[in-house]
Structure 1
Amino acid sequence: MFGLPYLGKYINSVVKEQPVADSVDWLNYYVTAVMLATFSVCISAKQYFGSPIQCWMPKEFSGGWEKYSENYCFINNIYRVPINDPIPQDLDEREDKLSYYRWVPIVLALQSMAFFLPNYLWSMLHKQTAVNPRSVVNEIRKCKALCGKEREVEVNALASYISDVIDVFNPRYRKELARSGWNATILYLFVKFLYLVNIVGQLLILDRFLGGTYLSWGFETIVDVAQGKTWQESEIFPRVILCDFTVRRLANLQRYTIQCVIMMNMINEKLYLFLYIWFLLVAVFTICNFFYYFFILCFPYFRTTFVHLNINKSSKDWQSTSSRDFRRFVHDYLRPDGVLLLQFVRQHVGGRVTYDLVNELLRIFKGKQGVSVESSPETPKGYRGNNYKKNISEHEPGTYKSTNYGPGGLYPNYPGAPNESSDLDYIDGGSTLPMSQSEERTPMRSIASHPQGSSPRSFPQEDTPRSFLSGVGPRLIDRNGRTPSAPVNEYSTLPPKTSV
């Protein structure tokens, strides 16, 4: 483009539709920005390379004087006087009342940059968030062209990746913004707010730039056109103006007042009327879009409603999920960043793939939380069974994973102790050994330390797994005072310690 290396590639990379932006964002940073840049280039070509102004010269002016006068009047003092009014004699009343048109191309270019700036900020910063929506959306886009088993495999793989990313939203880290599940949401809402401030601010700046009557002029002009009235010349965009300049003739200074016509104001008038209507429409869309995202991301009820509308109601995972578990899935698992990610997926891929992705995420969530484990009334509260081994890393090493923390947990004969059919797990250093009824249980004696010369203290018989890890429950020793590496098949008594 323009013969400059890499310029065309750069422009295409920064102005194309982004995978992590919605249609209103695209309307702001792409459509409006490109439109303003195009207007700026066209008006610049006419203004700086054409004939923006033409003046009616006195008879004695030659061709050189005519060119000089037009250039002088274009860059210096001009003013408007109605055709039926006399020219004021007071020079102070002939101040430069109309100077904005010289800056129209530059102002349009600055406006274009202002519309593009929020998207540039979002493109640079969203990659630093924990979610990184761009990579997810780029991968999920590949699923649109797939079908059947291939799409299912791709969606499941992507759901596993998203689940791993969401795992950083651990409750213990929510005081840290980077792991709170809010950092991408806060950044995106801030960008939305910048779009809103930009469009409202541009309307107010244009009103000031065009003399303080732009907003009322636009409304009145639209009403006149709608009523079929003749388009009349306005004070904001006059076509015929007057210009004063002084010519030095020998030792005398001679003042001239000439009449000029600015053809560009005919174009500027139509251009700014179009921008008035366009900015109002973009402002309405941007305001509605900002509050839409604000509500679905910041209010739990609307987050739940959004995810509920994007899930397959006929799936078994959904039908077996209680309302309480579904709220936990939305608020504690997905968090606002996960909901924002699903919004991008639906925006760029569609509802079908979004349904599959949400259902797979729900299945993963239920598997991690042990929601699908069926418990009976006799099952202790908090019991997860063997299915809970997936979350074994959440517990500290050496923890006895049972909600029965009383003596019954150690002594089977104590009231409230778990029966032999209980599926108990012993944990040590992240390892888990399930107990099954088919495993042979070997009685062992637990010996506690005792004073010298006293007889050993005997404890009630305890059921022990065939392989028992050290560091869990009471200390087990054999008759030689050693911790057995294999089951001991008989009771033994350790003789009292003797002093050396």
Structure 2
Amino acid sequence: MWAGGMGAVGRTDMYFHATLARTFINALSLRGDDDFIDRLNYYYTPIMLSVACLIISAKQYGGTPIECWVNPHSRESMEEYIESYCWIQNTYWVPMYENIPDDHTAREGSLKEKQIGYYQWVPFILIAEALMFSVPCIFWRLLSWQSGLNIQHVINAACDSQAIVDQADKQKDTPNSKLFPRSMISKIKCTRILAGHYVSSLYVITKLLYALNIVLQFVILNACLKNSDYLLFGFQVLADLYAGKPWTESGHFPRVTLCDFEVRYLANLNRYTVQCALLINIINEKVFAFLWLWYLILMLFTTISTMLWISQTLLVAEKVDYVTKFMQIAQSSDSRKEFKYMNGKGSGDTPYSVLSFAPHLLDRFVLHFLRTDGVFILRMMANHAGDLVVVQIVRSLWREFRERNWREFAEFEEMKDAGAALRGGGGGHSKHRVPPQPAVMMQHNHRFVTMSNPVATVMSDSIKSDDFS
């Protein structure tokens, strides 16, 4: 009867929900400028919500979501009217052992808190939640491109080059410097907006929006279910389902409710109360219980991921240590290749050049050349393309940094050779030690370098970041 009463309207609404869900999912395709926790929020969770929406819509518009018991002598049209009225008008739940007030005015006041008015709106609630989960992703994708750096293209290029790196690793005669052209390296140069912190700061804000959105989901469930204790209510529903406690005792998602309606006969107004079965609440209970548990797990993972990204973005030591790891891997790889070449075990006519590692310039390389956005992109590359690709990228970026600051590297090599000579001349059988040399201040294009024997220390605070970008 319900299916016949709704007819084409129900099928049209169901088709509308299916089309909206399919369009929404296609718009939020996976990209390389995020991590797995982000995808759980903006991609997989909306898919689950859309599937739940379609299941409930199929039952709601194509099946029989409510059935009311009426007088057997009533006409079929009257039964359809009662079911339609009780569907659009809130019903209420009263335990079987409790008495119902005879006075309708008193009944409306005492049973107002027991009204159930969410079952009609469940598909729309689920679609709204899916849209809310996509808001942080849309925020990130709309604003990240304004930095002048197309992160997605950079990450895709790194993923595409992963196959080249794997092939070159098998062919030992391929120099690493030929794997990554300068055009690709130039894409990693950071924006001037917020001094190279724009993209990373925007990503941290996006992470915070994901966490805030999950908190709002609990608030929405609380408002829709009209239960001020919904945070505990989620545990209660799961506990009831696990223990097999019937809804007749708990009152959660009741299947049998009451509905009051009025019928006017000429000048008389007659009031009736019928008992209805909310079949749709069988599905709603399972859907909301699963979503509550999923939101709790997602909140845990999102919070941990957000805290990690905040620490990796704000802490200088985290950024320097992360780049140092790849620098050491590149240096170790170059040393092995040079050893094989010098011993005639390597192939090719071009000798391998060991990466010159100047530790005292590493902070400048990370903080003023790569900056926070550059380290952020390296982390994204490692997540999607692997560490081997990042090693090659860091090697190429370090060599470009060395070309731009060749004076500092030349002075570092000279001081290193001088220190080695001093250690060689003053060791062994010599009874005299070379006294420590005073620090000498040299000026090169308004850049001050402090030299001491045998170790040099560059005053990083006196050098502008523009000199290294």
TM, length-normalised to structure 2? 0.73
Do 1:143 and 1:154's aligned partners in 2 also have CA atoms closer than 8 Å? no
- 1:68 is displaced (CA, Å) by 0.8
Partner of 1:483: none
Q: Number of matched residues?
A: 376
- Shifted more, 216-225 versus 192-201: the winner is 216-225
1:484-495 alignment, distance < 5 Å? none
Mapped partners of 2:130, 2:21: distance in 1: 18
Classify 1:17/1:342 alpha carbon distance in 2 versus 1 (closer, same or farther; 3 Å).
same
Partner of 1:478: none
Task: Establish whether residue 210 from structure 1 lines up as the match of residue 225 from structure 2.
Answer: yes
From 53, 56, 74, the counterpart of 2:87: 74
- Shifted more, 149-158 versus 279-288: the winner is 149-158
SS in 1 for 2:261: strand
From 238, 244, 259, the counterpart of 1:243: 259
Mapped partners of 2:22, 2:280: distance in 1: 33
Partner of 1:199: 214
> Which amino acid counterpart does residue 39 of structure 2 have in structure 1?
W
Partner of 2:363: 327
Partner of 1:463: none
Partner of 2:5: none
Show CA shifts across 1:183-208 (max 9, x none): 11121111111111101111122122
Partner of 1:104: 122
1:376-391 alignment, distance < 5 Å? 376=415, 382=442
From 291, 298, 316, the counterpart of 1:275: 291
> Which amino acid counterpart does residue 292 of structure 2 have in structure 1?
Y
Do 1:127 and 1:134's aligned partners in 2 also have CA atoms closer than 8 Å? no
Task: Establish whether residue 375 from structure 1 lines up as the match of residue 414 from structure 2.
Answer: yes
Do 1:315 and 1:359's aligned partners in 2 also have CA atoms closer than 8 Å? no
Mapped partners of 2:20, 2:62: distance in 1: 24
From 176, 180, 188, the counterpart of 1:156: 180
Do 2:42 and 2:134's aligned partners in 1 also have CA atoms closer than 8 Å? yes
Classify 1:57/1:144 alpha carbon distance in 2 versus 1 (closer, same or farther; 3 Å).
same
- 1:157 is displaced (CA, Å) by 1.3
- 1:248 is displaced (CA, Å) by 2.1
> Which amino acid counterpart does residue 292 of structure 1 have in structure 2?
L
> Which amino acid counterpart does residue 41 of structure 2 have in structure 1?
N
Q: Which runs of 5+ in 1 are unaligned?
A: 170-176, 385-394, 404-500
Partner of 2:146: 128
SS in 2 for 1:156: coil
Classify 1:277/1:71 alpha carbon distance in 2 versus 1 (closer, same or farther; 3 Å).
same
Partner of 2:34: 21
From 186, 203, 206, the counterpart of 1:188: 203
From 47, 51, 57, the counterpart of 2:64: 51
SS in 1 for 2:196: coil
Do 2:118 and 2:224's aligned partners in 1 also have CA atoms closer than 8 Å? yes
SS in 1 for 2:43: helix
Mapped partners of 1:13, 1:59: distance in 2: 50
Show CA shifts across 1:439-459 (max 9, x none): xxxxxxxxxxxxxxxxxxxxx
Mapped partners of 2:230, 2:389: distance in 1: 47
TM, length-normalised to structure 1? 0.68
From 331, 341, 359, the counterpart of 2:377: 341
Show CA shifts across 1:193-248 (max 9, x none): 1111101111122122212232212112334555x444544423111100011122
Q: Which is helix-richer, 1 or 2? A: 2
Partner of 1:292: 308
> Which amino acid counterpart does residue 157 of structure 1 have in structure 2?
P
From 391, 399, 407, the counterpart of 1:363: 399
- 1:24 is displaced (CA, Å) by 0.7
From 5, 30, 47, the counterpart of 2:43: 30
Show CA shifts across 1:308-360 (max 9, x none): 33441514588742332222211111110001101111111111111221222
Do 1:130 and 1:178's aligned partners in 2 also have CA atoms closer than 8 Å? no
Do 2:94 and 2:257's aligned partners in 1 also have CA atoms closer than 8 Å? yes
> Which amino acid counterpart does residue 110 of structure 1 have in structure 2?
A
- 1:164 is displaced (CA, Å) by 6.6
Mapped partners of 1:110, 1:84: distance in 2: 38
> Which amino acid counterpart does residue 308 of structure 2 have in structure 1?
Y
Structure with bigger gyration radius: 1
Do 1:53 and 1:262's aligned partners in 2 also have CA atoms closer than 8 Å? yes
- Shifted more, 341-350 versus 300-309: the winner is 300-309
What do you get for the CA RMSD once the two structures are aligned?
A: 3.1
Classify 1:155/1:295 alpha carbon distance in 2 versus 1 (closer, same or farther; 3 Å).
farther
Mapped partners of 1:8, 1:58: distance in 2: 41
> Which amino acid counterpart does residue 220 of structure 2 have in structure 1?
I
SS in 2 for 1:81: coil
- 1:54 is displaced (CA, Å) by 0.3
SS in 2 for 1:256: strand
Task: Establish whether residue 314 from structure 1 lines up as the match of residue 353 from structure 2.
Answer: no
Mapped partners of 2:76, 2:325: distance in 1: 74
Mapped partners of 1:253, 1:55: distance in 2: 21
Q: What fraction of aligned residue pairs are identical, expressed as a percent?
A: 32
Write out the 4+ residue segments of structure 1 that deviate beyond 6 Å after TM superposition.
6-10
Classify 1:363/1:381 alpha carbon distance in 2 versus 1 (closer, same or farther; 3 Å).
farther
Classify 1:138/1:229 alpha carbon distance in 2 versus 1 (closer, same or farther; 3 Å).
same
Do 1:131 and 1:337's aligned partners in 2 also have CA atoms closer than 8 Å? no
Q: Which runs of 5+ in 2 are unaligned?
A: 1-14, 335-352, 419-436, 450-469
